[in-house]
Amino acid sequence: MFKGKLLSLSTLFIALISSVQSAIHYNQGGSDWTGTCATGKSQSPVDIPVDNISGSSINSKYFRSNKLLDIMVSQKSMSNITLQDNIYTYQYSFSDGYLAFWDENDSLQTFQLLQFHVHAPSEHTFNGQYYDVEVHFVHKHTTENRLVAFSVLFDTKAGGDKENEFIKSMSVGAQNQSVISTLPAMNLFKKLDMNQLYHYEGSLTTPPCNEIVSWIIVHDPQQISSAQVKAFNDKWKNNQTFAAGKGNNRGIQNLNQRLIYKKDDPRASNGVNLIASILPLFVLLFGFF
Ligand SMILES: *[C@@H]1O[C@H](CO)[C@@H](O)[C@H](O)[C@H]1NC(C)=O
Ligand SMILES: *[C@@H]1O[C@H](CO)[C@@H](O)[C@H](O)[C@H]1NC(C)=O
Ligand SMILES: *[C@@H]1O[C@H](CO)[C@@H](O)[C@H](O)[C@H]1NC(C)=O
Ligand SMILES: *[C@@H]1O[C@H](CO)[C@@H](O)[C@H](O)[C@H]1NC(C)=O
Ligand SMILES: *[C@@H]1O[C@H](CO)[C@@H](O)[C@H](O)[C@H]1NC(C)=O
């Protein structure tokens, strides 16, 4: 019963996310998109003031650190996945992944993975700085009509100019609908410094730009080789036919009084280990980790 409801909600969300794909274009970085994209006040992406000390980001004054913020990402082995070339992104649908999110108000929410997809260059900026690639793991709330987008960054300078095994396994440039045997997502997640966690409430970064997305960003740029970045850029950023040589990233949106939270580093604040305390919950809910 519960599962049936969950599945139909997920189907609805997949429909919502895929319905306008053909109409998505980046000729003006999204500034000509209409509807909520144009009128919304809680849009994404935004600039994240990672270096608050200098106050160099325009969003510095809305930056708060928080002890309660935490997440846990759990992923079944990603196998037999289809690469879908949506022209404006590569998308991989997969639903055997879960994410537990402890927000800044100490409220625990659980989400199920729907799909992940790629933007190059990054959509979010960090003190105004772009990274080479940003991958969004889009998760659906297990009971409500809300999404979490879990964002992982890749950069040849900040992360190192070395081949990334996760990116490699994505088979970029392979034929549309190619089946990928395995994607080592957990290997990628285990490498991330989950203390570098940022959260704010925003929107889908593609039309219809619904304001239903809790953004969770790990500011820990991962290694990627120049050749791997080039494979994405050949398709979007350096492709005159795609959007006159622009990437598939929406322009930065106004924060409009929203707060951006950063997880307090427990090594500095002596905070409790929430991850350890929700492990049993994960086993109970999803039967694995
Ligand atoms: C960031 O800087 C702003 C302005 O200087 C300040 O109001 C805010 O408290 C700072 N946030 C953190 C987390 O240090
Ligand atoms: C792989 O996925 C396809 C399409 O989703 C399905 O028909 C097939 O049975 C799957 N194969 C395995 C080995 O799971
Ligand atoms: C890839 O396949 C999907 C599903 O058949 C289709 O919607 C999409 O347009 C295809 N992409 C390209 C680049 O042909
Ligand atoms: C946390 O509580 C504050 C104050 O009630 C509210 O504005 C904010 O939206 C809450 N955050 C989340 C993620 O619900
Ligand atoms: C450049 O973009 C066009 C339009 O999206 C696409 O058909 C073409 O395959 C792209 N070129 C490369 C090298 O990916």
Range of 45's domain? 36-50+60-233+252-263
Cα(280) to centroid of ligand 2, in Å?
A: 31
> What string of pLDDT tens digits covers the 289 residues of the chain?
344 444 444 554 544 554 445 568 999 999 999 999 999 999 999 999 998 766 667 888 899 999 999 999 998 889 999 999 999 999 999 999 999 999 999 999 999 999 999 999 999 999 999 999 999 999 999 999 999 999 999 999 999 999 999 999 999 989 999 999 999 999 999 999 999 999 999 999 999 999 999 999 999 999 999 999 999 999 999 999 999 889 999 999 999 999 999 998 766 544 445 555 555 565 555 554 4
pLDDT at 285: 59
Largest Cα–Cα distance of the chain, in whole Å? 53
270 lies in a domain? no
Residue nearest to atom 6 of ligand 3 (CA): 86
Measured CA to CA, the distance from residue 210 to residue 145 in angstroms comes to: 11
Neighbours of 211 (CB within 10 A): 14
Whether pTM > 0.85 for this model: the answer is yes
In a domain, 247, yes or no: no
* Identity at 200, one-letter amino acid code: Y
Q: Cβ-count burial of 131 within 10 angstroms (0-12 exposed, 13-18 middle, 19+ buried)?
A: buried
Rounded Cα gap, residues 223 and 195, in angstroms: 18
- Pair 26, 246: CB distance under 8 Å: yes
CA–CA gap between residue 162 and residue 154 (Å, rounded): 11
Answer yes or no: is the C-beta of 238 below 6 A from any ligand 1 atom.
Answer: no
pLDDT at res. 249: 98
Is 227 within a domain?
yes
| Predicted pLDDT of residue 5 | 43
Total count of residues recorded for the chain: 289
Strand partners, 267: none
How many angstroms is it from 54 CA to the middle of ligand 5? Answer: 41
164 lines ligand 1 (CB under 6 A): no
145 falls within a domain: yes
Ligand 5 neighbours, Cβ below 6 Å, are 87, 234-235, 239, 241-242
Q: Flag whether 288 is in a domain.
A: no
The structural domain count of the chain equals 1
Nearest atom, ligand 4, residue 103 CA: 13
Establish if 122 belongs to a structural domain.
yes
Q: Determine the Cα–Cα distance for residues 194 and 188; give it in Å rounded to an integer.
A: 12
For residue 93, which ligand has an atom nearest its CA? 2
Decide if 71 contacts 217 (C-beta within 8 A).
no
Structural domain includes residue 280: no
What pLDDT does residue 268 have?
55
- Does 238 reside within a domain? no
Contact 79, 65 (CB under 8 A): no
Q: Compute the distance from residue 259 Cα to the ligand 1 centre, in Å.
A: 11
Best probe residue, ligand 4, of 42, 104, 261 (max atoms within 8 Å of C-beta): 104
| pLDDT at position 57 | 75
CATH number for the domain spanning 211: value is 3.10.200.10
Which tokens belong to 91?
């998308």
Q: Rounded to the nearest whole angstrom, what is the distance from the C-alpha of residue 187 to the centroid of ligand 5?
A: 31
Measure 114 CA to ligand 5 centroid, in angstroms. Answer: 26
State the residue for tokens 């979010």.
124
CA distance 78 to 99: 15
Nearest to 194 by CA among 175, 218, 170: 218
- For the CA of 22, the closest atom of ligand 3 is 9
Task: Please tell me the distance from the alpha carbon of residue 139 to that of residue 13, in angstroms, as a whole number.
Answer: 10
Model pLDDT, residue 17: 55
What tokens were used for 249?
């990233």
